[in-house]
Amino acid sequence: MKILFKGAHVFPISKKPFTGDVLVENGKIRQIGEKIKPGKGTEIFDVSGKYLFPGFIDAHCHIGLYPEGLGATESEGNEMTDPVTAHLQALDAFYPDDVAISKALSGGVTTVFVVMGSANPVGGQGFIAKFNGKTAAEMCIKNPAGVKMAFGENPKRVYSEKKIMPNTRMGTASVIRSFLMKSQDYMKKKESILKEGKEFTERDPKYEVGEKLLKRELPARMHAHRADDILTAIRIAEEFNLSFVIEHCTEGYKIADILASKKVPVVAGPLLTFATKLELRDMTMGALKILSEKGVLTALMCDHPVIPLEHATVQAAAAMRYGVKEEELLKMLTINPATILGLSEKVGSLEPGKDADIVIWSGHPFDMKSVVEKVFIEGNMVYSK
């Protein structure tokens, strides 16, 4: 099946915008350029004057775990019964009929990393989804795709109420270190038994996940707001040679030189919101300008449902008031999160060979009057206004 989008203002992200065409074949982008010949059997969409973008990507959200309209009592986002729940999978709690999914499409968001909340120091495994299916399995494109860890106030608050460790920041760090050390011991024991030609019969789902972290098969997705928490997360990650990403990174701008020198990827945000706790008091949208200027690989999250995914471009547009360049913000919604998620060869820009995840806007997405008219994922229309 071939589709030709003709006459749009095309924003490839990987190169400068131009007015022209995009040819899609069998769910992939085949060609972009000016005056592309359609060929026989090609479905043509005249999108003259419209704005054509790749689908936006949010590399940290809780959509489907906190379904819209059901209230906090029906949420599935936190298993607040044990500080270490590495073996949990967010996919098992995902609600594919969450009405927020269609609303996310109406905001141009097509791909997300879905992860549990930050109640536990080691929370569990998140997955990557595209909004082009009816079931969790149909939407999921990678599971697991990262292990949630949390520093700062949230684990302290949850477990102080339960009167168990952790009650402090050092307690949280200790819980995470202990999990990783036990995972190391688990690996050594397994390797020893397997070397003897025996069957390993003592499998523990928690430490199976720890093994994947230690082998860098899964990245640690490390929730940290304050600068000192970010540095603690980095210290532990380096101690155990983990692949990792800093989530939220609210005060990352204070240590941007360190993040840049260590090449630490960041999923920043949400920033267009109220400071609901002490560790957010120095929050500023100006952080994005500092991080991008220092060369930190930065994606911008909504942390849905904190900011509904449908408003991803509203948050990004607001950041321009703080001096963040438009082209940098567009990268934070597209190729940067794709790179952080390990998907940059498939999504995040409009290039031949990549998935045809295409959004047709009435105007520029950062213009508040603009609306999404059509969304295509892998060449199939999944939303039409």
The answer to whether 125 and 209 are in contact (CB under 8 A) is yes
- pLDDT tens-digit readout, 30-47: 999 999 999 999 999 999
Tell me, yes or no, whether 15 and 72 share the same domain: no
Structure token digits, residue 169: 């920041």
The answer to whether 62 and 47 are in contact (CB under 8 A) is no
Position 182 confidence tier, pLDDT thresholds 50, 70, 90: very high
Question: What's the mean pLDDT in 310-332?
Answer: 98
- Average pLDDT of the residues of the chain: 97
Tell me, yes or no, whether 178 and 103 share the same domain: yes
Tell me, yes or no, whether 229 and 338 share the same domain: yes
**Which pLDDT score, from 0 to 100, does residue 381 have?**
98
Tell me, yes or no, whether 45 and 93 share the same domain: no
CATH of the domain at 9: 2.30.40.10
User: Does residue 90 have a pLDDT over 90?
Assistant: yes
**Which pLDDT score, from 0 to 100, does residue 73 have?**
58
Tell me, yes or no, whether 313 and 256 share the same domain: yes
The answer to whether 359 and 322 are in contact (CB under 8 A) is no
Report long-range pairs for 141-144 (Cβ below 8 Å, ≥24 apart): 141/111, 143/89, 143/91, 144/89, 144/91, 144/209, 144/212, 144/218
**Which pLDDT score, from 0 to 100, does residue 338 have?**
99
Structural domain harbouring 135: 56-347
Number of H helices and E strands in the chain, helices first, is 11, 16
Closest CA to 139 of 154, 128, 129: 129
The answer to whether 151 and 231 are in contact (CB under 8 A) is no
CATH of the domain at 228: 3.20.20.140
Alpha carbon distance 196, 120 (integer Å): 37
Tell me, yes or no, whether 4 and 26 share the same domain: yes
- pLDDT tens-digit readout, 250-298: 999 999 999 999 999 999 999 999 998 999 999 999 999 999 999 999 9
Structure token digits, residue 157: 């608050």
Tell me, yes or no, whether 15 and 161 share the same domain: no
Question: What's the mean pLDDT in 214-219?
Answer: 98
Tell me, yes or no, whether 252 and 323 share the same domain: yes
Alpha carbon distance 82, 134 (integer Å): 32
Residue-by-residue DSSP string for 248-299: E-TTGGGGHHHHHHTT--EEE---SS---SGGGTT--TTHHHHHHHHT--EE
Question: What's the mean pLDDT in 86-96?
Answer: 98
Tell me, yes or no, whether 135 and 46 share the same domain: no
Question: By three-state DSSP, how is residue 103 classified?
Answer: helix
Tell me, yes or no, whether 274 and 356 share the same domain: no
Beta carbons within 8 Å of 148's beta carbon, 6+ residues apart: 115, 116, 118, 120, 122, 123, 124, 125, 126, 221, 223
The answer to whether 285 and 328 are in contact (CB under 8 A) is no
To the question of pTM greater than 0.95 for the whole model, the response is yes
The structural domain count of the chain equals 2
Q: What are φ and ψ of residue 147, in 5° steps? A: -115, 120
Tell me, yes or no, whether 162 and 172 share the same domain: yes
Tell me, yes or no, whether 285 and 354 share the same domain: no
